[in-house]
Amino acid sequence: MCGIVGYIGKRQAAPIILDGLSKLEYRGYDSAGMAVFDGEKIHMEKEVGRLKVLENLTRGGETMKGVLGIGHTRWATHGTPSCVNSHPHLNREGTIAVVHNGIIENYITLRKLLQEKGYEFVSETDTEVLPHLLDYYYRKKGTPLAAISSLINRVEGSYALGILFADHPDVMYAVRKDSPLVVGKCPDGAMIASDVPALLKYTRTVYYPDNQEIAQLREDGVKFFSLDEEEQEKESVTIDWDADAAEKAGYEHFMLKEIYEQPRAVVNTISPRIKDDEIVIDELKMTDEELAGVRRIHIVACGSAYHAGVTGKYVIESLARIPVEVDVASEFRYRNPILAEGSMVVVISQSGETADTLAALRESKARGFRVLGIVNVVGSSIAREADSVMYTWAGPEIAVATTKAYSAQLAALYLLAVKLGRVQGRIGDGDYREMLSDLRSLSTQIELLLGQKEKIQKFANRYVGARDIFFIGRGIDYAISLEGSLKLKEISYVHSEAYAAGELKHGTISLIEEGTLVVAVATQPDLYQKTLSNIVEVKSRGAFVMAVTGEDNREMEKAADYVIYLPQIKPCFANSLAIVPLQLFGYYVAVGKGCDIDKPRNLAKSVTVE
Ligand code: G6P
């Protein structure tokens, strides 16, 4: 989605804005722009394409003089990617500049009203109503704060805004509703950004504005105001990520770095929650008795987080014998779900900002159900609105295709499953001890698998030209296949489908041709034989089969053409191991094709629109 950065202070704003925007490139974009107050007027530059184009045009920001500015990377929703549609947008006199992330839902009505008042529009965007509406209210009310608060009352939808008024060159304004925004206090000024990585180089002291709270930034400080212009007390938060968290640290891509950070993400998520040989998840804010009373679980999420949820369903149902429903958030919110007494809703999100997941959370709360958020970004909207939050301690994830956050989500779900199984009396002492020991050793096992990188790279090189690749598996292996297939297609653009292995013959098997690669996942010993039969089915139609299986399943060598063995682990936790070679496979196919690994086309990391 779009990225926003703004700076006010003692230093030249444009280079700082460009640097900040470069840290938000993972959000996906098609054009970029900046507006800087140059001492007399607002000077604006916009370009279609990567940030590099804007950097070249402004010689790294040097040509834009001034200490107050806002910048934006756009991911087109309303109107094609073009210079005129890209942000910032201005009022007619060029005295008010706005950058916006989100969608103004009532923009057609507002546009009509403003046109009737003589305002002229140049772009196709929803955003352009904002500078005109601000212009209208500023003339009427006389102060930027009053104009912004009137704007907020008129506008429907989601937004994070950075706003400049040429009449007030010593101040920048920002406000948000349902779109992410962080405000930073730097030693020499203040900043806004859509996400923390853009600020890290300049400050670690940040504020998370609430919905519809207006931030007023000056060189010497930051203030917050409510809609009725009352100043608000606000606590700052200190970010303790290490400095290279948002840097590639020698890796060719963020994705590879993050694949390698998985052991740490998993250990950081698990270790603090195992105390004296017991799983303790204080953040749930539920007693063991309350947990023992949970009768049904609804997991709701999008993308890879949804795939983690599918695994969660298998694991929770098998360990705790509690029925689990998993929904894609965009479906859940409109299907009038049946939430019965004793239901617990779990939403999973790396960013904590995904619009559909947030809406599902609100829908569940409105119906009176407790919502647990499994979230990676501290202070994000989902983290703030959920009744309880279980953080995945994966650290900042930059590559659009998630890897370490997904692994940390699995770890959190395992802890929840074992905890529920234990309090519901389904897991005996011996099994409990073994499970804790497996959870503790998970990160070392993942480390071991990472050692097979070269082997997987060589294999992946053979499939750089592949047209279709299929993934099959049963039970948890099907859940792994969903994620393996998604990783491959989102970054390499190779068409891929994941199928429940027994279902393939009801349709997709007709697509198997001589040499088509089928990746068979078989980590569940009770299903080895069944999946072997499916492998035989596809091989007899010409498929080439790569299998990912447990090291005890040597029979696989007879059936599959290429086998990756996984270290020993309890089958319910096998996803955490099996996903690693599949992530590496997707990564190396995409590298071989020369794809833009960290910023795949058309995708965004944080999807803050419906
Ligand atoms: C986008 C990303 C996916 C992610 C999904 C859900 O589609 O590209 O990688 O899994 O959103 O995001 P969330 O932040 O809610 O986990």
**What is the rounded average pLDDT of the residues 437-461?**
93
> In sequence order, which residues have a C-beta less than 8 Å from that of residue 571 and are 6 or more positions away?
476, 523, 524, 525, 526, 550
Question: Exposed, middle or buried by CB within 10 Å (0-12, 13-18, 19+), for 372?
Answer: buried
Q: Is the pLDDT of residue 243 over 60?
A: no
Give me ligand 1 centre to Cα 204, in Å.
Answer: 25
SS3 475: coil
Distance 605 CA to ligand 1 centre (A): 6
Cα separation, 509 vs 486, whole angstroms: 19
Across the strands, what pairs with 69? Answer: 7, 36
CA distance 96 to 318: 58
Average pLDDT score, the chain: 93
Among the listed ranges 47-51, 65-69, 228-232, which one has the minimum average pLDDT value?
47-51
Given a cut of 90, is residue 148 above it in pLDDT? yes
Q: Does CATH number 3.40.50.300 belong to domain 246-450?
A: no
- Per-residue pLDDT of 80-129, as tens digits, reads 888 888 999 999 999 999 999 988 999 999 999 999 999 999 999 999 99
Q: State the average pLDDT over residues 489-514.
A: 90
What is the Å distance from ligand 1's center to 384 Cα?
18
What is residue 2's predicted lDDT score, i.e. its pLDDT? 84
Give the residue, 240 or 298, on which the prediction is more confident: 298
Report in angstroms the alpha-carbon separations of 14 from 45, 57, 175. 10, 12, 21
Ligand 1, pocket-test mutation among 304, 306, 375, most atoms within 8 A of CB: 304
pLDDT at 242: 64
- What pLDDT was estimated at residue 285? 92
Query: Which pLDDT does position 78 carry in this prediction?
Result: 82
Q: Can you tell me the distance from the alpha carbon of 408 to that of 127, in angstroms, rounded to the nearest whole number? A: 36
Q: What is the pLDDT of residues 326-349, one digit of tens each?
A: 999 999 988 888 888 889 999 999
The pLDDT of residue 603: 83
Q: What is the mean pLDDT of residues 373-394?
A: 93
Radius of gyration of the chain (CA): 25
For domain 451-594, the CATH class is alpha beta
- The residues assigned a catalytic role are 2, 605
Domain boundaries, the chain: 3-240, 246-450, 451-594
Expressed in angstroms and rounded, the spacing between residue 261 Cα and the centre of ligand 1 is 18
Please determine whether the domains at 246-450 and 451-594 fall in the same fold group of CATH.
Answer: yes
351, 378 contact by CB (below 8 A): no
Tell me: pLDDT of 1 over 70.
no
Q: Whose CA is nearest to atom 15 of ligand 1?
A: 349
CA pair distance 277, 274, nearest whole angstrom: 6
Mean pLDDT value across residues 128-154: 97
Nearest protein CA to atom 3 of ligand 1, as residue: 303
Percent of the chain surpassing pLDDT 70: 98
Q: What is the model's pLDDT at position 28?
A: 64
Which comes out higher in pLDDT, residue 240 or 24? 24
The pick from 179, 194, 259, 302 for probing ligand 1's pocket by mutation, whose C-beta has the most ligand atoms within 8 angstroms, reads: 302
What pLDDT score was predicted for residue 563? 96
pTM: 0.76
Residue bearing the CA closest to ligand 1, atom 7: 303
Q: Could you tell me the distance, in angstroms and rounded to a whole number, from the CA of residue 78 to the centre of ligand 1? A: 21
What does the pLDDT average to over 440-457? Answer: 92
Q: What is the pLDDT of residue 50?
A: 86
- Work out which ligand 1 atom sits closest to the CA atom of 306: 10
Pocket of ligand 1 (CB under 6 A): 302-305, 349-351, 354, 357, 400-402, 603, 605-607
Q: What is the mean pLDDT of residues 53-64?
A: 95
Find the mean pLDDT for residues 164-180.
94
pLDDT (mean) for 6-21: 97
The CATH number for 3-240, chosen from 3.20.20.140, 3.90.1300.10, 3.40.50.720, 3.60.20.10, is: 3.60.20.10
Mutating to test ligand 1, I would choose from 402, 598, 608 the residue with most ligand atoms within 8 A of its C-beta, which is 402
Q: Whose CA is nearest to atom 2 of ligand 1?
A: 605
What mean pLDDT comes out for the span 213-228? 96
pLDDT of residue 424: 95
Convert the pLDDT of each residue in 384-413 to its tens digit.
999 999 999 998 898 999 999 999 999 999
Proportion of the chain in helix, strand, coil states, percent, rounded to 5: 40, 25, 35
Average pLDDT over residues 515-543: 93
Mean pLDDT for 230-254 is 82
Average pLDDT value for residue range 69-87: 88
